[in-house]
Chain A
Amino acid sequence: MSGGYRNRAGHTILELIAAAGILAVVMSCFSVALRGVYEMEQRCVAENRGIVVLNNVVVRLAAEPEWDRGTAEGLLADEFARSDLAGGTRYHPSCAWDGSTLRLAVVRRDGGSLADVEVGR
């Protein structure tokens, strides 16, 4: 020591541990961000598949000379079962009829709509 100034070189273990802790926090934030991107990507792909399923159903309904709610439900269930969305519990098809409009949808497990379309008669 000279003139009240402590001559010190290098770092202590405590400082290193603090630095490593900060790095760990930064890396965990990065990991969370990566996870978010992955989930968003999965959701985007699922929405795309849902739209394709509903488009197939609408095209097939349009080709039917006569159809009712039962026909629409059958076609939706058929197209959904043949899509990538089937085979799990994350998504399921839904068909609602309000008297004049048929609402076809692929619904997420939490009840939110992945894709939906309304068909009038």
Chain B
Amino acid sequence: MATVALGSIRKQIESTAPPRGLWCDFPLGRPLGKPGDPDFQHRVLAAAFALLDSPEPVFAEFDEVIHDSGDEMLACPLPPRHDPDAHPAIDEANGLRAAYDRGVEMSNGRFGAGRVVAADDIPAAIESFIRIAEGTPWAEAGIPGMPMRVSHDIRSYYETAALAMVDHAPAAWAGTRWFLDQTETGKVMMAARVAMQEQEAPQPMWFYLTPGDR
């Protein structure tokens, strides 16, 4: 059985040295490069399967790079305040629910909430991180599961809602940047992460709440 490995990180595919490796310098999470672009995906597959003709182990580079500029961000409208008594993040999450449901339908449920927190319970999950940001010890805040998995469900809830509010394939990380830098809940997650670090929570508990370079 022959294998062809696509690789997103050059040093990793070089160091693991698969029998046939194609380094595709695309953003992490997009090994075929461009969502919604069958012609591009076929080019990647053609380059990968061409390596099957090699009579010996082979490493190759795909001839096109997809570079993440680091600053592209979705421009999604955020819901206006509805419940002035609610925390802005909770009000925001509730206001995005209709968009989230449309996003789930569009994406066939591939990437929404629900790993450990169902969509209905996302506001309550956000409340636990609000409590941490406001000073409650993280272990007493009522996080409904492992913090990184709960955080992932919250981020996925927002990014799925965003998917329904744009009419194109989002650039890599554009939805994540929107969530972390533009939304009230993103601010809560960043603040809770800092608070957990200051509370000397175990490193994996706070570190994986956001992408690692934050």
> Is A bound to B?
no
Residues of A bordering B, CB below 8 Å: none
Residues of B bordering A, CB below 8 Å: none
